[in-house]
Amino acid sequence: MAIVAIVDTGINTQHQDLRDNLWINAGEIPGNGIDDDSNGVVDDIHGFDVITGQPISAIGDPDGHGTHVAGIVSQTSNAAEIMGVRLLGDDGSGSFSDAIECFNYALLNGATVINNSWGALGVETSQVSFLQESIDIGMADFGAVFVAAAGNESSNTDKIPHAPSDANGMISVGATTSRGNRARFSNAGPQTVDLFAPGVNIVSADASSTTGRIALSGTSMAAPIVAGAAATLQDRTPSATPQEITSTLMSDVVTRRKLKRMSVSGGILSNEFTEPFTRNLPSQRTENSTKSSKVKPYQSDASSIGKKDFTRIICVLDQPSQDEKMDIWNELIAQPFTNEDGVSWPEAYGDRICILEVEQDYQDKCDRKTVFQSLKQSGHFESVEWDRTIGIQSFNEGNTINSFADPLG
């Protein structure tokens, strides 16, 4: 099963369309009031609310947007477990810094697909470079596929940027009508929107009850169809890389002549995955996409994502004595995943901060995901984070755009 993180307004974990498909945090004992897995959140059985710092079930989804999005993933894929990660506040706004925290939580708890039905027009990814770095890490070290709504401003995102959908590695999804035409509200861009999926009058879970459903329109509804498709492909081929999943989704589209000028792929997601939401569409070329999709090898040059080196990890010690500190230091230096420089406690960071250098050539020598999780589970540290210089821990907001408004429903 693939775990799909819904980075959104929250989810109603009691809804009948979701409750049997929810991700369950095996490291937590429900209701005991203890952070059993030491990830900083108490009783986060089905996910995390970044806004309040509480488990996702404590707040639910007052807005309803995230529940609707999650229901679409469940309809698209029988292979998806739904993880709720709340990014957006009651007014529908959020911050890119909180998005980083959402990505961190999702990745470290096993999410392999991250759906983002939110964003901001007029924001270049370079202005939120820390977001790009987090996506790079998620793809390279965790094998995660990132999907985002292209936006509802009827704009050309080749000319007016949109974040996070324009980020490298992010699958940007526009919306189509039941007839296979671009929805009037949907953004488009032959270089920036990757493909389209149904996004008009999509019926899915209504968060205001545990049984109801509601029809909504938006690129927010199109993106989770693609996220569900990605989860299905991951389940079929667990060894597939994010790039291979993306390549398969892009090559198996139903091509439409008008959409060739509006997206990279020139088409709509395969009928195999869109069938619950719209009628099957004929491809306007000799090939058709009604067959079952299989992952195809991804062709890229050696500089593709996955080759970047993210080597520095920051560990915050839990008030150690000097003897304990030395014992931990010696234990870390002896680990096979540390390089010859090993571990250091620079004076500038104080006695509780440990900087760990991890072997760069992780594909041959170590799996950084495993290293990261083993450090968190060692019991020595209050927190374990990547160094801010590679975009995970924190950042200076002085020269960046950090806020956005409204989910893309």
Taking 80 as the threshold, does the pLDDT of residue 396 lie above it? Answer: no
Q: What are phi and psi of 293, to 5 degrees?
A: -75, 140
What SS3 state is found at 199? coil
Region of poorest pLDDT, from 81-90, 173-182, 245-254, 383-392: 383-392
Nearest CA-CA partner of 84 in 168, 6, 21, 182: 6
**Residue 118 and residue 408 in contact, taking contact as beta carbons nearer than 8 Å:** yes
User: Would you give the distance in Å from CA 91 to the centre of its chain?
Assistant: 22
**Cα–Cα distance for residue pair 112/109, rounded to 1 Å:** 9
One-letter amino acid of 217: S
The pLDDT of residue 366:
56
Q: What is this structure's pTM?
A: 0.78
The pLDDT of residue 359:
64
The pLDDT of residue 67:
97
**So which residues are the catalytic ones?**
8, 65, 220
Please report which confidence band the pLDDT of residue 197 belongs to, taking 50, 70 and 90 as the band edges: very high
**Residue 55 and residue 119 in contact, taking contact as beta carbons nearer than 8 Å:** no
Average pLDDT over residues 47-51: 94
**Cα–Cα distance for residue pair 270/290, rounded to 1 Å:** 6
**Cα–Cα distance for residue pair 162/352, rounded to 1 Å:** 40
**Residue 7 and residue 102 in contact, taking contact as beta carbons nearer than 8 Å:** yes
Helices (H), 79-152: 96-108, 129-142
Taking 80 as the threshold, does the pLDDT of residue 172 lie above it? Answer: yes
Domains and CATH numbers, the chain: 2-274 (3.40.50.200), 312-390 (3.30.70)
pLDDT digits (tens, 9 = 90+) for 103-148: 999 999 999 999 999 999 988 766 677 788 889 999 999 999 999 9
Taking 60 as the threshold, does the pLDDT of residue 405 lie above it? Answer: no
Q: Which residues contact 376 (CB under 8 A, 6 or more apart)?
A: 38, 39, 108, 384
**Cα–Cα distance for residue pair 7/105, rounded to 1 Å:** 10
Average pLDDT over residues 386-403: 42
Q: Helix axis angle, 219-236 relative to 65-76, nearest 10°?
A: 40
pLDDT digits (tens, 9 = 90+) for 56-107: 987 789 899 999 999 999 999 999 999 999 999 888 888 888 999 999 999 9
User: Would you give the distance in Å from CA 277 to the centre of its chain?
Assistant: 23
Nearest CA-CA partner of 338 in 360, 370, 307, 369: 360
For residue 225, CA distances in Å to 23, 129, 244, 251 come to: 18, 27, 18, 16
Angle (nearest 5°) at CA 47 between 45 and 48: 120
Please report which confidence band the pLDDT of residue 398 belongs to, taking 50, 70 and 90 as the band edges: very low
The pLDDT of residue 375:
80
**Cα–Cα distance for residue pair 76/152, rounded to 1 Å:** 22
The pLDDT of residue 296:
43
For residue 375 the two structure tokens come to: 């450090």
Q: Which residues contact 209 (CB under 8 A, 6 or more apart)?
A: 15
Provide the edge-to-edge strand list for the sheet that holds 312-317. Answer: 338-344, 353-358, 312-317, 381-386
The pLDDT of residue 376:
77
pLDDT digits (tens, 9 = 90+) for 321-379: 777 777 787 777 777 777 656 676 655 556 677 777 776 544 445 566 777 777 877 77
Mean pLDDT, the chain, integer: 82
One-letter amino acid of 23: W
Q: What is the largest CA-CA distance in the chain?
A: 72
pLDDT digits (tens, 9 = 90+) for 212-260: 999 999 999 999 999 999 999 999 999 999 999 999 999 999 999 889 9
The pLDDT of residue 340:
59
**Cα–Cα distance for residue pair 228/80, rounded to 1 Å:** 7
The pLDDT of residue 326:
75
Percent over 70 (pLDDT), the chain: 79
**Cα–Cα distance for residue pair 147/352, rounded to 1 Å:** 37
Q: Helix axis angle, 219-236 relative to 242-251, nearest 10°?
A: 120
**Cα–Cα distance for residue pair 64/51, rounded to 1 Å:** 16
Burial class (CB in 10 A: 0-12, 13-18, 19+), 278: buried
